[in-house]
C-alpha cells in the first residue's frame, strides 16, 4: 500500500519525466506502477487517497461469536477434556450429540488463549529433583536392580536380581530367575539381610534402573 504523500510524489515524477520527453508507459514502469494505476490516481485532476483501508470487508465465514468462544473455553477446562487435544474433544462431544465448532476452530481458540498444552486441572508438570541417598557405613543403603541375561536360545532371557551395598559396593545378594516378579525381589532381600546379620537394623533399599 502506497501512502498519499508517496502517490503525490510518484505522480509528480511521472509527469516531469513525461514533459521532458519520456513515454508515459516507460515512466510508470520505472516506478513499478501501471498506466491504469497512474490514471486512477490523477482522476479528476487530483491524487486520490487509497480507499482500501476504508473498504468494508466481509466477515469470515468461520468467525465464531463470543458466546461460542466462551463455550469452547468452558468445555476444554472440564476435567473430562482437560488433557485431550481437539482431535479427541470434538469426536467425544459428537458421540454425545453435541457440536460446538470444528477441530481447527478449537485449536485456533486455544492458541489465542495460550491454552494448547495445560488447562484446567492439567497443569505443567513440576520438575522435581531426584531423591538422593547417603551411606556413611556398610549396610545402611542398598540398591537393587533386575538385568536381563540372554539365554542359550534366541528370544530366551533370564533375570538377574542383584543387590549392592551403596557404601562398599559389595554384592550382598544375587539370584537368577526366569521371570520378573515382586516376590523374587522380596525373597532375595530377606536372604541378604540374614546373610549380613542385620536383622532389625535400619536399612534403606532402593531400586535403580539397569540394562534390560
pLDDT tens across 171-205, in order?
999 999 998 888 999 999 999 999 999 998 888 98
Position 135 in a domain: no
Q: Report yes or no: 10 and 39 within 8 Å, Cβ to Cβ.
A: no
Output the average pLDDT for the chain. 81
Same domain, 151 and 197: yes
Q: Report yes or no: 170 and 140 within 8 Å, Cβ to Cβ.
A: no
Domains identified in the chain, total number: 3
pLDDT for the residue numbered 209: 62
Position 125 in a domain: no
CB atoms within 10 A of CB 133: 11
Q: Report yes or no: 185 and 203 within 8 Å, Cβ to Cβ.
A: no
Closest among 33, 121, 12 to 77, alpha carbons compared: 121
pLDDT for the residue numbered 187: 92
Position 174 in a domain: yes
Same domain, 30 and 83: no
pLDDT for the residue numbered 11: 81
Same domain, 101 and 152: no
- For residue 89 the three cell numbers come to 474433544
CB atoms within 10 A of CB 95: 8
Same domain, 47 and 101: no
Stated pTM of the model: 0.39
Q: From CA 136, how far away is CA 116, in angstroms rounded?
A: 48
Same domain, 44 and 18: yes
Q: From CA 147, how far away is CA 164, in angstroms rounded?
A: 13
pLDDT for the residue numbered 162: 94
Position 121 in a domain: no
Domain with 46, as residue range(s), is: 4-54
Q: From CA 32, how far away is CA 153, in angstroms rounded?
A: 78
pLDDT for the residue numbered 1: 58
Position 61 in a domain: no
Question: Percent of the chain having pLDDT more than 90?
Answer: 23
Same domain, 80 and 46: no
Q: From CA 209, how far away is CA 197, in angstroms rounded?
A: 27
The pLDDT confidence band at residue 164, using thresholds 50, 70 and 90, is very high
Position 178 in a domain: yes
Position 42 in a domain: yes
Q: From CA 119, how far away is CA 82, in angstroms rounded?
A: 6
Same domain, 199 and 152: yes
Q: What is the pLDDT of residues 55-86, one digit of tens each?
A: 566 656 667 788 889 999 999 988 888 888 88
Position 212 in a domain: no
Average pLDDT value for residue range 122-148: 78
pLDDT for the residue numbered 139: 94
Amino acid at each position: 500500500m502506497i501512502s498519499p504523500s508517496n502517490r503525490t510524489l510518484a505522480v509528480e515524477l511521472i509527469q516531469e519525466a513525461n514533459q521532458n520527453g519520456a513515454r508515459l508507459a516507460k515512466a510508470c514502469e520505472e516506478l513499478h506502477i501501471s498506466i491504469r494505476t497512474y490514471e486512477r490516481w490523477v482522476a479528476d485532476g487530483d491524487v486520490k487517497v487509497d480507499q482500501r483501508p476504508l473498504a468494508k470487508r466481509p466477515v469470515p465465514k468461520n468467525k465464531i461469536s463470543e458466546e461460542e468462544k466462551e463455550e469452547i473455553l468452558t468445555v476444554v477446562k472440564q476435567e473430562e477434556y482437560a488433557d485431550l487435544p481437539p482431535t479427541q474433544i470434538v469426536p467425544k462431544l459428537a458421540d454425545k450429540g453435541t457440536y460446538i465448532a470444528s477441530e481447527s476452530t478449537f485449536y485456533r481458540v486455544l492458541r489465542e488463549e495460550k491454552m494448547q498444552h495445560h488447562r484446567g486441572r492439567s497443569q505443567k508438570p513440576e520438575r522435581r529433583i531426584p531423591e538422593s541417598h547417603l551411606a556413611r557405613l556398610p549396610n545402611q543403603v542398598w540398591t537393587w536392580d533386575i538385568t536381563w541375561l540372554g539365554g542359550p536360545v534366541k528370544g530366551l532371557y533370564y533375570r538377574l536380581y542383584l543387590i549392592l551395598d551403596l557404601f562398599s559396593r559389595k554384592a550382598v545378594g544375587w539370584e537368577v530367575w526366569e521371570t520378573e516378579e515382586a516376590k523374587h525381589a522380596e525373597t532375595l532381600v530377606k536372604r541378604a539381610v540374614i546373610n549380613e546379620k542385620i536383622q532389625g537394623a535400619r536399612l534403606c533399599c532402593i531400586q535403580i534402573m539397569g540394562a534390560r
